[in-house]
Amino acid sequence: MKEPRVVVWFSCGAASAVAAKLATQEYGDRCIVAYCDTGGEHPSNKKFLKDIEKWIGKEITVLKNKKGYTSHFDVFRKTKYLNGVLGARCTIELKKKCRFDFQKHDDIHVFGYTSEEKNRAERFNEQNFELATDWILIRKGVSKEDCLGILWRERIDIPTMYDQGYQHNNCVGCSKGGMGYWNQIRKDYPESFKEMASIEREINHSLFRNEDGSRLYLDELPPTAGNFKKEPPIICGLSCGEILNNI
């Protein structure tokens, strides 16, 4: 009987890059690395993807949504929806549906959840009990700091948004970001800030609320609101060293 595929869901983030490396080594030809191209990520991600392809020795399968959405902003405008009880609409349209279309019923799924995210992985398994998963980074005790350190040691340039202090390499102007994040986007990517602010007004929906429950639109957001951490932790811990010995 043919063994099932092992699909690594690469996000152009540091953790999923290391997960792809480890899974490729462990599963060989059974391993497929797939990337859902949202159209809204930083341009440096394209170079990072190519660098990771060389590192893991495997071509990454690039998936695009079937509805023709060009970015997360395009999703917001056309669906007139940002976030809700079902999550962010952009994640559903640009990532989840791509995964649903690509996956097979017997796939083993690998996501870039790190050792700090055991509870998150457990919740995922509870909510997606029909999927077989291998939390390879958790299984091997690999942290977010380890992942950044591994890429540094391997001389792989991390995407620009990490260098700028962002903790995650999501789309530029992520609807899941807090007030401090958006104030940093206002400084680093003013056009993305203006785009989201315009969308909020256009669809009459806001990412944030005032204390009294009224809408707080981005164009009203105080420049000092929130607490954005500028420097990401790039430390190579014990797990990092153990993994590097096997790479």
For 83-127, the pLDDT digits (tens) are 876 678 888 899 989 999 999 999 999 999 999 999 999 999 999
Q: Which amino acid is at 65?
A: N
Q: Which 8-state DSSP code applies to residue 177?
A: -
Q: What is the mean pLDDT of residues 29-33?
A: 97
Report whether pLDDT(42) > 60.
yes
Residues of the chain above pLDDT 90, percent: 75
Angle of helix 144-153 relative to helix 238-246, nearest 10 degrees, comes to 50
CA 205 to chain centre: 24
Q: What is the mean pLDDT of residues 36-45?
A: 94
Task: Encode pLDDT of 139-177 as tens digits.
Answer: 999 999 999 999 999 999 999 998 888 877 789 999 988
Report whether pLDDT(241) > 70.
no
Model confidence at 243, pLDDT cuts 50, 70, 90, reads low
C-alpha to C-alpha distance for 22 and 20, rounded to whole angstroms: 6
Average pLDDT of the chain, as a whole number: 90
Q: What is the mean pLDDT of residues 185-200?
A: 97
C-alpha to C-alpha distance for 44 and 159, rounded to whole angstroms: 6
Cβ-proximal residues to 170 (8 Å cutoff; 6+ apart), any chain? 41, 176, 177
So what's the pLDDT on residue 166? Answer: 85
Q: What is the mean pLDDT of residues 11-19?
A: 94
Report whether pLDDT(200) > 50.
yes
So what's the pLDDT on residue 87? Answer: 72
Residue 34 has phi, psi (to 5 degrees) of: -120, 145
Question: Which of 123, 121, 142, 104 is CA-nearest to residue 21?
Answer: 142
**Total number of residues shown for the chain:** 247
C-alpha to C-alpha distance for 176 and 42, rounded to whole angstroms: 16
C-alpha to C-alpha distance for 159 and 167, rounded to whole angstroms: 11
Q: Which residue has the tokens 């995922």?
A: 124
